[in-house]
Each structure stands twice: as structure tokens, then as C-alpha cells.
Structure 1
Amino acid sequence: MAEDKKSNDYTIEMGKLNQRFDTPPPPSPPLPKPASSLSNNPIFPVLAYCGSSILMTVMNKYVLSGLDFNLNFLLLCVQSVVCVTTIQTCKSCGLITYRNFSSDEAKKWFPITLLLIGMIYTGSKALQFLSIPVYTIFKNLTIILIAYGEVLWFGGSVTGLALFSFGLMVLSSVIAAWADIQHALEHGMDATAKVSTLNAGYIWMLVNCLCTSAYVLGMRKRIKLTNFKDFDTMFYNNLLSIPVLVVATLLAEDWSTANVNRNFPIDERNNIILAMVLSGLSSVFISYTSAWCVRVTSSTTYSMVGALNKLPIALSGLIFFEAPVTFPSVSAIGVGFVSGIVYTIAKVKQNAKPKTGILPTANPPLSASSQSMRDSLRS
């Protein structure tokens, strides 16, 4: 019996081995490579990214340029609702994917959402008082704050070429402000009121630059901890901002019938609502086309496109909203355009070699207390 059991066991194992060493089926012939489609052509994602950026800026300016428009929180709330609805629909259709909602992740991400609300709100107020070219030029100053924030908190460095681009950014902003103020003084009956309006816009722009840099740096830190992808970030940002914006618009804004009619005139009501919806859709388009652009081209090309994109956005203000076309204003756009290109080239060169530098382009030696503070910020 023992010998029979051993023989049976041996026979079974050999059967398995025989099955294991059977001749594998011949490999299937390789599938033919699909012909190059429009989605893989780098021209189309670049144009789509530029178009969505221009669309969002122009639509926001159209809504905010209305007479005494003061329902900014409502505008942001509509944009967030449209964005969440759109990406949720795309996820249901299998076009995109992102992680499901988690209350624990929401609590950790909520401070970033508050910074985003501050950034978008102050940007809408600045765009309300300033022209699109001036707004676009001043937005470049945020790059300087972010760059030195990375030096302090992430151990980054700033090269000499980047410093040169920063100088061009500051110069373009000064020229733009001077051109705006000069135009206000030379044209128009109430120059004092126009200058005060511009000053209000510059203050909002300054606050927007601070909020934007805080948002970008804070989001970079939080993304490293949560490993969020593009659509994860978009989903949580817009979803968490909706209740905050609803409370803000109900408590801080005037919802009387007279004020609603002032913000939404009967003859322009449908166009304004459509522009608000399109501005929300454009935020989805920007996220998708930016990811599309990076996939089809490269991150370097995407950075260059972002720098070049400021020129058509600034020109859109001259075309659609009759911003003053003067030699100083055009010069400011040109200098700001060049500064973006120089900064992109500086980042490309910096990423291609080890980080080196001297003061003030690199981190200075830190005392024990300063090093402890930096470590606490990184944790």
C-alpha cells in the first residue's frame, strides 16, 4: 500500500510537470501601430491650453466688468459647482478618474481650499478694477514670491538668470502701472476717481500675489503628503469650497432685489449667467489641456507655453475690452512677455545642472534656531 501511494503521488506530480512543460502556443503577431491621431499632435493641446486660459480670463472679465458688480462670492460658487458637476460626469462616463471623497483627507486639505478661495476672490477683485493686460503683467510678481518661498521652505535656489527675469517682471509692472495712471490722468473728466479705482486694483493685486504664493507653496507641501493627482486636487478644492462660498455670499453680499437686478440687468442676464458657466467649464479645460500638453510634449514645453500664453491673454484685453493701447502699455506687455521666457529658460538650465549659487540666490548658513524653524515648517 505504501508503495502504491508513493507511485500514485509520483504519477500525479509528473502529470503536473508534463502539463507545465507543454510547448507554449506561438506568440500572436504584433498589432499594427495606430496611425498618428489628432490627440497626439502637440499643436492641438498647446492651442487648447492657450484657448482655455484666454476663455476663462475673458469670461471672468466680462462678468466682473458689469456696472457695480459685487457678487464675487456667487461667481466663485457657480464656477465651483460647474467644475464639480463636470468632472463627476466625466468620471461616471469613464473619461477621467480620481479618488473618492474621504472625510479624513478633506480635513487635511481644507486649509489649502481656504487659501484657494482667498486667491481666486482677490484675483476677481483685482480683475474688476484693472484691465486684463495690467492684471496679467502684475500676476508675474507671484513668481518671485513663490521662488523665494521655495528657497526658504523647500531648499530651492534662484540663479542669476532667474534674478534677471525677476527684474524684468518688476520693470514691466512699473511700466504698466505708470501707463495706466498716465492714461487716467490724460483721458476722462474725473481723473481722481479713476486713479483711486486703479489704486484699489493694485492693492487687491498685491493681496492676490500673497494669497497665490501661499496657496501654491502650501499645496505643494500638502500634495507631497497626500499624493494627490491633478483631478484629485481639482475635486477636493472645488467641492470643499462650495459650502464656504455659499455661506460667504449669503452673509457678506447684498441679496436684495435691487442689488440682484443691478448685478444681472435684464438685457444682459442670460449672457452673464452663460459667461459664469463657461468660466467654470474653462477651469476644467485648463486642467485637462495642461495634462494633455505635458503628456504629448514635455514639462519644459509646457512651461514655455505658459510663458508665451501671457501675450495672447494680455492682447485679449486690448481686443475685447478696449484697454488703452499706448506705447507704454504695449511696452509693458512686451517686457512681461520677455520676462516669462527668460524665467522659463532659467528654470530649464537650473534643472539641467546641480543647484549652486551664492547670496542672495541660494540659502544662507542658518543658525540653530533658524534651522529648527525651517524643520518645523517642513514637518
Structure 2
Amino acid sequence: MESMLKFISENKGFFVAVGYGVTSVSITFFNKAVLNYYNFNYSNALTLGQMIFSLFFLVLMKQMGKISYPDVNVDLCKKLFSLSLLFILMVVSGLAALAKTNVPLFSALRRLSTLVVILGEKMLLGKVTPADETQAVVVMVLGALVAGWGDVTFDFVGSIYILFNCVVTAGYLIYIAKKTKETGLNTFGLMFYCNILSMPATIVLTFITEWEGISTFTGYADLGFQFCFFMSSIQAFLLNYFIFLCSTLNSPLTTSITGQIKSILQTIIGLFMFGDVILSPLLIFGLVVSTLASFWYSFIKYAQTAARKITQSN
């Protein structure tokens, strides 16, 4: 038991990355089910529901003494306003894109965020990504673009949402690391402030754009819809927790790449689950290229880790 706990402690970053990947795959399909299978085409309302659940869990866990974070502070609100803005833009644009595109294309095009992270880390954090890592990411992105070109169900508006989501997701991942150092807040503190600062704007946005639809929606009594909405909201909390933890324990690029690797499983399941994918040679070729590039990057990171362990042992 002791050795098991030691192993987990020594490899905490790896387990956090796995947790992020598994949760990210699962929430994508629950979100897709809510938005399309149950025809709840109100992504802003779903975002609001996820925020409410996240705040509920954060406050409950604090009251139970399981976690700690500072109460609302004006200075912290000012410092974290930019992060909360990126947070709401990321969530809203991601759900809007998922509602308009099939899961494989959504997963493939979101790989563009990794390239944006590399550029952002260079400009904002002064971090230079090794050439072989950059090459793997470029191939990954090119494969995603080919897949998008070969998708006969291509939705222009949905693709614009995805591209915008890639940019704000990259900014969000980078700013997590930056704001953690600036504020000294732990993971739960950052989550609390992001949700509480984003909620007023989300309420207004939901009321303006979706009130008529959500007030006349007839599927609230459906147990399947209730389950999917509830699971989506719970996993939104877990996903944000793993994103924060992964970005602080590992790096923004590792977090982004973990997201791309989990997209492999997401893509395979998404090809058959909702029946909204029409296969074409270009689509298949692009998905294969992008997936192989993900494996290439994983091999590079494994080789780097192995080399560091050999150096440390010497």
C-alpha cells in the first residue's frame, strides 16, 4: 500500500493527465447527447448549468473542510478578469461548435489549439518548444485540416466556432500558469473565481439569446435528458479541475497535447455513435495522419522523459 501511494505521488502529473483525457472524452459525448440527441440546442444554457453545478461543488467542499480558497476579493477579481473572460469564451464557443459539427471533425480541428499554444508560450512565457515536437504538432494540424476539407457535412459556421475556440483555449491554458504565479491561488481558488466572474455574463447571454427556447422546451421530464445534463455538469467541474491541475503540475502544452491524444478515442467512437458522419477518402486520410502525429508526439515525450531519468541516475 505504501509503495502504491509512493508510485502515485511520484507520477502525479501522469495520472492527472490521464484523468483529464478520460473526463474530456466522456463530457464530449454527454454534451453532444444533450445538444443534439435530445434537441436541447441551447449551448449557453448548458454552460450556465455547468457553472452552477461547479460553484455548488466548490462551496460544498469548502464548507465540509475538504478544500480551501479565499472569499471574494476585489483585487483578485481584477487580476483574474482576463482569465474568466477566456474561460467563458472557451466554454461557450466549444459547445456551440460541438452542436454544429460531428465529433470526429470537432476533435480533429481542435488540434489547431496545440499550435497556438506553442506560439503563445513563446510570446508570453518565453518558452521554446523543441523542433521535433513542433514538427509533430504541425503534421497533426495539417492532418486535421485535410480531414476538415474532406468532410462532406462541413458546416462553415461550426468551423469558425472551432477555430475561435482553439485560440481562446490556448490563451486559457497559458494564462492558467501565468495567473497561478501572479495570485498564489490554488486550483480550487482559480476555479471558484473563474466561475463566479463568468456567471453574470452567462446569465445575460442566455436570457438574451435562448430564453424563448429554454422556456418552451418540452424534454425536461425525460430521465435520459436529466441524466445526460447532470453528468455533463458534474464532468464540467471535474474537467476544469483536471485542466487547472494539469497546467500547473505539467505545462500548458502537455495539457493541450493530452487533449489531442484523447481525441483519438473520441474520433473512433464519434465515427459511429451519432450517425452524423459521412466517410470520404480525404476525411479518413486526414484523421489517420493527425492520429499518427499524436502518437509521434507521445513517443517524443516518452523519449525525453527516459533521457531525463538516465541523466538523473548518473
The TM-score bracket by the shorter chain reads: 0.7 to 0.9
- Tell whether 2:287 aligns with 1:316: no
Could you give the per-residue CA deviations for residues 136-183 of structure 1, whole angstroms, max 9, x where no partner exists?
Answer: 1111111111111221222222332123113212222122113312xx
Match of 2:205 in 1: 248
Paired residues, what number?
Answer: 300
Match of 1:158 in 2: 129
- Deviation of 1:272 (Å): 2.9
- Tell whether 2:254 aligns with 1:336: no
**Aligned with 1:60 (options 25, 31, 55):** 31
Contact kept, 8 Å, 2:93 with 2:164, in 1: the verdict is: yes
- Structure 1 or 2: more helix by fraction: 2
Match of 1:217 in 2: 174
Contact kept, 8 Å, 1:77 with 1:242, in 2: the verdict is: yes
- Deviation of 1:227 (Å): 2.1
Contact kept, 8 Å, 1:56 with 1:283, in 2: the verdict is: yes
Match of 1:73 in 2: 44
Give the distance between the partners of 1:35 and 1:158, measured in 2 at CA: 34
Opposite residue 35 of structure 2, the aligned amino acid is L
C-alpha distance 234-344 of structure 1, shift in aligned 2 (>3 A): farther
Give SS of 1:112's match: helix
State the TM-score, normalizing by the size of structure 2.
0.80
Q: Percent identity?
A: 24
Q: Specify the structure having the higher radius of gyration (Cα).
A: 1
Match of 2:190 in 1: 233
C-alpha distance 229-340 of structure 1, shift in aligned 2 (>3 A): farther
- Deviation of 1:49 (Å): 4.3
Matches within 5 A, 1:1-379: 34=2, 36=4, 40=8, 48-66=19-37, 69-181=40-152, 184=153, 195=154, 198-250=155-207, 252-256=208-212, 259-260=213-214, 264-266=217-219, 269-287=222-240, 299=250, 306-324=259-277, 326=279, 327-346=281-300
Opposite residue 71 of structure 1, the aligned amino acid is Y
C-alpha distance 290-240 of structure 1, shift in aligned 2 (>3 A): closer
Give structure 2 stretches of 5+ with no counterpart: 309-314
C-alpha distance 255-306 of structure 1, shift in aligned 2 (>3 A): closer
Opposite residue 127 of structure 2, the aligned amino acid is G
C-alpha distance 266-307 of structure 1, shift in aligned 2 (>3 A): closer
Give the distance between the partners of 2:236 and 2:126, measured in 1 at CA: 31
C-alpha distance 285-180 of structure 1, shift in aligned 2 (>3 A): same
Contact kept, 8 Å, 1:70 with 1:253, in 2: the verdict is: no
State the TM-score, normalizing by the size of structure 1.
0.67
C-alpha distance 89-161 of structure 1, shift in aligned 2 (>3 A): same
Give SS of 1:309's match: helix
- Deviation of 1:56 (Å): 0.9
Could you give the per-residue CA deviations for residues 262-317 of structure 1, whole angstroms, max 9, x where no partner exists?
Answer: 6x33387443343222112112333556789999xx859x7675553221122231
Opposite residue 112 of structure 1, the aligned amino acid is L
- Deviation of 1:66 (Å): 4.9
Contact kept, 8 Å, 2:38 with 2:219, in 1: the verdict is: no
Could you give the per-residue CA deviations for residues 209-241 of structure 1, whole angstroms, max 9, x where no partner exists?
Answer: 122223233333322211222222211111221
Match of 1:377 in 2: none
Contact kept, 8 Å, 1:109 with 1:222, in 2: the verdict is: yes
Give the distance between the partners of 2:269 and 2:215, measured in 1 at CA: 28
Give SS of 1:235's match: helix
RMSD: 3.5
